[in-house]
Amino acid sequence: MEKFFEFIEKVLMPHMTKISEQRHLRAIRDGIVSTIPLIIVGSFFLIIAFPPIPALADLVKPNIGKILFPFRLTMGMMSLYASYGIGYSLAKSYRLDGVSGGILSMAAFLMTSVPQAVEGSGWMLPMDSLGGSGMFVAIIMSIFAVEILRFLQNRKIMFTMPEGVPESVARSFEALIPATVVLTIVWIIRHLIEFDIQRFIMDLFKPLVYAGNTLPGVLVPILLITFLWSAGIHGVSVVGAIARPIWLVLLNQNMKAVTDGAKVLPNIGPEPFFQWFVWIGGSGATLALVLLFLTSKSSYLKKLGKASLLPGICNINEPVIFGAPIMLNPILAIPFIIGPIITGIISYGAMALNLVARPSVIPPWTLPAPIGAYLATGGDLKAVLLVLINICITTIIYYPFFKSYEKKLIKEENEEVSA
């Protein structure tokens, strides 16, 4: 096992670190993460419009349309916001003007839509492509727009203003030629040739979205994230940059189903599935380990358990991962990987059999898991029960490894006292 971790540290870690810092993946990650506050707020309006208590549901029913406005203008347009964030982040990574990169990316994304004439209301954009379903289009158009901006500015193909002109004005004129090129190219492809860019990209990624909702599609991210964390690499940063667009598409479809009045939602595997039913206490489901630390005969583990309890309840587990430590620890890495896989299978099965409601809301990730699971599933008490069962299961899985590690630390502590 030590040789295995040595191989990971010397051979695998440098490559994984490079992937996590790859500028395009980092821009996608940061751009999408920047939309999370809007998504969370919009999600809560979805809960208000469809409360789990029948009496409240009857009370708000006449005003559902008005209540859903914030939801439709946040979650319903998250790809539009993400396009700006991705473009801004990618442009900044190239040391270009972030605002120009964000605006160009958002404009390129909007240009892939065809305005519809509505009698008496003028021209309107269909919102279906602005929500989660358009996330892959937003990503590709943002990268395209910023790369055009970089290509032209590196070759000095831009308007340069004289000294003394305010910087914001100078930046605007520098982006004039790139904006012309980007918008003209997209206009020719989408509106003159009438090639449906959105449909093409969405069809291209459809197999990935489908795969992300299967049991293997759920287990692979769990395995990769826990494996990378155990090797000392921030697993969510690497895997999340690739998987989060898929999770958001799945979440968007579930939210749409809720607003359409569906009793059973189509998808099991949006991000809240992992957050509330797998990562209980943080990646690796370490809340169970923290609870075991509280009972430890090792003074170090007991102190670590006390210090990590409150953060663990709020799904912050860096104190445990780096304090125990779990990374590069052949004893604790095994349950750290196995526990979430087992609870992932159990949770997926419970939702596939419709024993527990499927997630359709993103509550703040720092909530205690039972509360987060209750809100994420639209108020299903069985989701709370599933979380408690998963905590018990991960505690059982961690227990023999915890005792083995505790024995090792107690021996080391006794040796220090004797010395």
pLDDT tens, residue order, the chain (419 aa): 556 556 666 666 666 667 667 889 889 988 988 888 888 888 888 888 888 777 888 888 888 888 888 988 988 899 999 999 999 999 999 999 999 999 999 999 999 988 887 777 777 888 878 888 889 999 999 999 999 999 999 888 887 777 767 777 777 788 889 999 999 999 999 989 989 988 899 888 889 889 999 999 999 999 989 988 887 777 787 788 788 889 989 998 998 898 888 889 999 999 999 999 999 999 999 999 999 999 999 999 999 999 999 999 999 888 898 888 888 788 899 999 999 999 999 999 999 999 999 999 888 888 999 999 999 998 899 999 999 999 999 999 999 999 999 998 998 888 777 65
As a whole number of Å, the end-to-end CA separation of the chain is: 30
Same domain, yes or no: 316 and 409: yes
Same domain, yes or no: 258 and 272: yes
Same domain, yes or no: 400 and 259: yes
User: What residue type is assigned to position 170 of the chain?
Assistant: A
Domain count, the chain: 2
Distance CA 26, CA 92 (A): 11
Domain boundary among the residues 194, 210, 226 is at: 210
pTM exceeding 0.85:
no
Token representation of residue 362? 């993103």
Same domain, yes or no: 327 and 236: yes
Domain boundary among the residues 144, 177, 210 is at: 210
Token representation of residue 142? 């943002």
Inside any domain, residue 387: yes
Residues 6+ apart with CB under 8 A from 173: 158, 159, 160, 161
Report the SS3 class of residue 189: helix
Inside any domain, residue 349: yes
Same domain, yes or no: 179 and 249: no
Enter the DSSP assignment of 155: T
Backbone dihedral region of 116: left (phi > 0), alpha (psi from -120 to 50 degrees) or beta? beta
Q: Hey, how many other C-beta atoms are within 10 angstroms of the C-beta on 331?
A: 19
Token representation of residue 3? 């040789």
Token representation of residue 129? 């492509």
Inside any domain, residue 26: no
Distance CA 397, CA 355 (A): 24
Domain boundary among the residues 210, 238, 253 is at: 210
Residue 141's domain spans which residues? 34-210
